Structure 1
Amino acid sequence: MPPHQDTPLTSRRRLLQAGGAGLALASLGCTGRKLARAGASTVTHAGYGPLRPVADSNTGLPLLQLPEGFGYTSFGWVGEELAGGEPCPRHHDGMGVVAVHGDVVTLVRNHEITTDPGGSFAPAQATYDPDCRGGTVTLRFDTRAGRLLDMRPSLSGTLVNCAGGVTPWGSWLSCEEIVLDAGQRVPIQGRGMHRMKRAHGYVFEVPGDGLARPEPLLAMGRMKHEAATVDPASGIVYLTEDQKPAGFYRFLPRVPGQLARGGRLQMLQAAGVPDLRNGRRQGEVFRVRWVEIEEPDRGFHDGRDDTGVVRQGEAGGGSLFTRLEGVIIGDGRVYFTSTNGGDAGCGQLWAYRPGEETLELVFESPSPEVLDYPDNIVLSPRGGLVICEDSEQPVQRLYGMSEDGGLFEFARNDVVLDGFRGISGDFRAEEWAGACFSPDGRWLFVNNYRPGISFAITGPWRYGLI
């Protein structure tokens, strides 16, 4: 429909079935580790052993199931008071470690807010569109004491802050996963229709300390952004787009490390293959070119739908994917997932090699039993990785993948609340999000999306697992 008509504002929720062996086997290759071949049959692993309910050291509640010897503390709950007096918003999503000073780790956490009332929770100088409640919160956690030190707003007035990525220079790229024009009307819960004061669909940079400058990085495009990763050698930013169809992009900054100074946005073209959504063979390798996006701020196509950027790329010869999600760089490769790509519609894992300008279909799931809807993954400093589950299962699992490709459950969401902090409900089916490790590897930080809780997990970690 035309962008200025009244339209419902909906939030995309990722669906990731249990499993994920193929994705994990392939993704770990980006660390240079030797693993079982991508696409091999699922291998189970004993991991850290059976799970059992464990009491939260902060609240005393049994919020998680973990293996023997592991413990955790909850922090940064929805509704807790932020510095400045605002309540912490809900929908805890992407998160990353942006700084460490001695024992203190600084994290920036996204809040994927769509239609919540209340407007910006950040100070005016860090507010983009004042009636919008998405944004980021910056948290400082003392790893020696195992407790939260403080929590403050760092960006707000944005919408649907889903994923993003950490930069090598100590900031967080927070990505809006929605495209709206200034003047477009959307519903706000209990408040009727709200007219957007500014356009949305951008990437914002949040510093590790202080407030964000609430200006979008226009040159990085206006689209349904998902995740970002930065090549520390070149400063090039690789971007995914959660859209049908979607493009895979790179942003060449005018000055590496200074994204606000602009640059060029390009979309990947696999030579001779305009459509990569299905009909491909695992192991296929394609030569890569890059197509210029001449108008990165053109979010709408023909004034009707929110595919303005990807349609520009397609017109220039760029190749189409579907619903691109996680992206990570390492060992000379950029891996990214297509959550519903492939002939079975269950997901693909792609690897782009900047040094060779090639693209390979590393893995394609043949069925939901093998892998269904791959999303974001987090590499462990000990080998292996953590997989955040966002599926239709009644209880969401946090998976580990050992260095040799064995899949195991590491944790289960056990959040059931009966009036605690004014919250009641069974939240065991809510997704895990935002997993990241402290630089020393002792703590795994991860979010419960709803009602909105962060956890810091520690215990007898072992090399080769996670």
Structure 2
Amino acid sequence: MERRTLLRAAALGGSAALGGTLWRGAAYAAPAQPGAGPYGPLGAPDANGIRLPSGFTSRVVARSRQTVPGTSYTWHDAPDGGACYADGTGWIYVSNSEISPGGGAGAVRFSSTGAITGAYRILSGTRTNCAGGRTPWNTWLSCEEVDRGYVYETDPWGVKAAVRRDAMGRFKHEAAAADPVRKVVYMTEDVTDGCFYRFRPTTWGDLSAGTLEVLVAGSGATSGPVTWARVPDPTGATATRDQVSGAKRFNGGEGCYYADDTCWFTTKGDNRVWQYNAAAQTIELAYDDSLVPSGAAPLTGVDNVTGAASGDLFVAEDGGNMEICVITPDDVVAPFLRIDDQSGSEITGPAFSPDGTRLYFSSQRGTSGSSSGGITYEVKGPFRS
């Protein structure tokens, strides 16, 4: 899965054909394999029950149904997808709430030293807000993971009212990732026969109108060229995934992250991380636990994903052994952290502070195994840049 996309695009010769030997015979590198991670082995659990490499520390930022320290805001149940935004010399972390009814999203504001300076609601009255994605114009796309769910564009500062973006389609939304080069937003769908979508706004920066498209590829293929086709009826009166012949199926779409002409997205049903090369319009597998020697897969329960400036991917587990694993640019996968004694939960919402020194994430159900037991954490340390 070496991420030398220009070389790979050249090898494909720019072809967009979907059949014949190109699908079967393209020389794609093997997906990531276990190895020694860049941060070394995990240590003993700290006071928060988190095993970290040497040099890293953790703290609890918020707990569901408790006020965020130093504020009067009560943190939401079942914290899920999240993102960070620069805020003067500090930053903001936003987090969805995967409950229904209620849902929505909240935010925590930090000073330049990492001190909590505020917390507040940015979206209310929605359903099962799972993941989402940030936009280049500094809004948060909060996605409803329900049949015919919507995408809501929200203001991380909590000043502007959230807006429902109907043109982005009605389906079981999971995550979104903006591509400023091609001026599109990629989206995943969390069903066993789901699709991978992109939304092309009529005007970049305005999501009120545009075209919803679905990825089309060879049946069953895991690598090769792809195309995009318009979804005739984004309202989902007929399921969006069933409207285009040849739409490629993905088993439980989850996290989605874009950087450097590449969109990585995950599928939980088969424990895979996919790599869409937007410049070459090809897909391939970045990770597949079934291609790892039996019993040796460090990453299972593949779910939310984010990336660091180093090119490292950080993939959270829903289940597994409650780890966030790192996949390096040289195709090594290894645990970065593990949360002990929370097997009834899942890790959600990984996102880096703007300076790349702090990683935020949640244990959605914490030690209780209930949505009311969510815990949001910060890990600080010498992340690679």
2:12: which partner in 1? none
For 1:412, the aligned partner's letter is R
Match of 1:94 among 70, 77, 81: 81
* 1:332-343 → structure 2 map (5 Å cutoff): 332-340=261-269
Compute the TM-score of the two structures, normalised by the length of structure 2.
0.82
User: Once the 2 structures are TM-superposed, how far is the Cα of residue 221 of structure 1 from its aligned partner?
Assistant: 0.7
Q: Partners in 2 of 1:40 and 1:136 — Cα distance?
A: 34
Q: Does 1:134 align with 2:103?
A: yes
Given that 1:238 and 1:250 are in contact with CA atoms closer than 8 Å, whether structure 2 keeps it comes out as yes
Match of 2:279 among 355, 364, 367: 355
Q: Partners in 1 of 2:359 and 2:287 — Cα distance?
A: 27
Q: Partners in 1 of 2:279 and 2:323 — Cα distance?
A: 36
Q: Does 1:329 align with 2:258?
A: yes
Q: Partners in 1 of 2:145 and 2:6 — Cα distance?
A: 28
1:453: which partner in 2? 375
Given that 1:155 and 1:211 are in contact with CA atoms closer than 8 Å, whether structure 2 keeps it comes out as no
1:178: which partner in 2? 146
Given that 1:175 and 1:204 are in contact with CA atoms closer than 8 Å, whether structure 2 keeps it comes out as yes
Q: Partners in 2 of 1:293 and 1:204 — Cα distance?
A: 20
User: Once the 2 structures are TM-superposed, how far is the Cα of residue 217 of structure 1 from its aligned partner?
Assistant: 0.8
**C-alpha distance after superposition, 1:274-299 (max 9, x if no partner):** x33xxx3x5x413x332222221125
Q: Does 1:377 align with 2:315?
A: no
**C-alpha distance after superposition, 1:204-261 (max 9, x if no partner):** 011122245344211111111011111112321111111121111111101101112x
**Pair 1:84–1:159, CA change in 2 (3 A):** farther
SS of residue paired to 2:45? strand
For 2:120, the aligned partner's letter is R
Q: Does 1:74 align with 2:5?
A: no
**C-alpha distance after superposition, 1:329-384 (max 9, x if no partner):** 222222323332xxxxx344433333333344555443574454432222122342
Given that 2:32 and 2:331 are in contact with CA atoms closer than 8 Å, whether structure 1 keeps it comes out as no
**Alignment length (residue pairs):** 353
Q: Does 1:296 align with 2:234?
A: yes
**Pair 1:79–1:267, CA change in 2 (3 A):** same
* 1:112-191 → structure 2 map (5 Å cutoff): 112-114=98-100, 132-144=101-113, 146-179=114-147
For 1:134, the aligned partner's letter is G
Q: Partners in 1 of 2:216 and 2:156 — Cα distance?
A: 35
Q: Partners in 1 of 2:263 and 2:350 — Cα distance?
A: 19
Structure of greater Rg: 1
User: Once the 2 structures are TM-superposed, how far is the Cα of residue 403 of structure 1 from its aligned partner?
Assistant: 4.6
For 2:268, the aligned partner's letter is T
Given that 1:30 and 1:331 are in contact with CA atoms closer than 8 Å, whether structure 2 keeps it comes out as no
**C-alpha distance after superposition, 1:141-185 (max 9, x if no partner):** 1241x3211110110111111111111111110000002xxxxxx
SS of residue paired to 2:143? strand
1:219: which partner in 2? 167
2:317: which partner in 1? 389
Q: Partners in 1 of 2:33 and 2:88 — Cα distance?
A: 43
Q: Partners in 2 of 1:364 and 1:53 — Cα distance?
A: 28
User: Once the 2 structures are TM-superposed, how far is the Cα of residue 37 of structure 1 from its aligned partner?
Assistant: 4.7
Q: Does 1:242 align with 2:199?
A: no
1:313: which partner in 2? 244
**C-alpha distance after superposition, 1:43-72 (max 9, x if no partner):** 2337334412323xxxxxx34232333222
Match of 2:44 among 41, 44, 52: 52
For 2:106, the aligned partner's letter is V
Given that 1:30 and 1:334 are in contact with CA atoms closer than 8 Å, whether structure 2 keeps it comes out as no
User: Once the 2 structures are TM-superposed, how far is the Cα of residue 139 of structure 1 from its aligned partner?
Assistant: 1.2
1:191: which partner in 2? none
1:109: which partner in 2? 95
Match of 1:254 among 178, 182, 202: 202
SS of residue paired to 1:310? helix
Q: Partners in 2 of 1:428 and 1:142 — Cα distance?
A: 33
2:325: which partner in 1? 399
Given that 2:215 and 2:247 are in contact with CA atoms closer than 8 Å, whether structure 1 keeps it comes out as yes
User: Once the 2 structures are TM-superposed, how far is the Cα of residue 457 of structure 1 from its aligned partner?
Assistant: 1.4
Q: Partners in 2 of 1:335 and 1:461 — Cα distance?
A: 20
Q: Partners in 1 of 2:42 and 2:67 — Cα distance?
A: 36
Given that 1:107 and 1:140 are in contact with CA atoms closer than 8 Å, whether structure 2 keeps it comes out as yes
Q: Partners in 2 of 1:440 and 1:363 — Cα distance?
A: 27
Deviates more, 1:231-240 or 1:85-94: 85-94
2:337: which partner in 1? 411
Q: Partners in 1 of 2:55 and 2:286 — Cα distance?
A: 36
Compute the TM-score of the two structures, normalised by the length of structure 1.
0.68
User: Once the 2 structures are TM-superposed, how far is the Cα of residue 449 of structure 1 from its aligned partner?
Assistant: 0.9
Given that 1:378 and 1:387 are in contact with CA atoms closer than 8 Å, whether structure 2 keeps it comes out as yes
**Pair 1:385–1:245, CA change in 2 (3 A):** closer
Given that 2:120 and 2:158 are in contact with CA atoms closer than 8 Å, whether structure 1 keeps it comes out as no
For 1:140, the aligned partner's letter is R
User: Once the 2 structures are TM-superposed, how far is the Cα of residue 437 of structure 1 from its aligned partner?
Assistant: 1.0
1:121: which partner in 2? none
**Pair 1:407–1:365, CA change in 2 (3 A):** closer
Given that 1:285 and 1:361 are in contact with CA atoms closer than 8 Å, whether structure 2 keeps it comes out as no
Match of 1:285 among 216, 219, 224: 224
Given that 1:291 and 1:313 are in contact with CA atoms closer than 8 Å, whether structure 2 keeps it comes out as yes
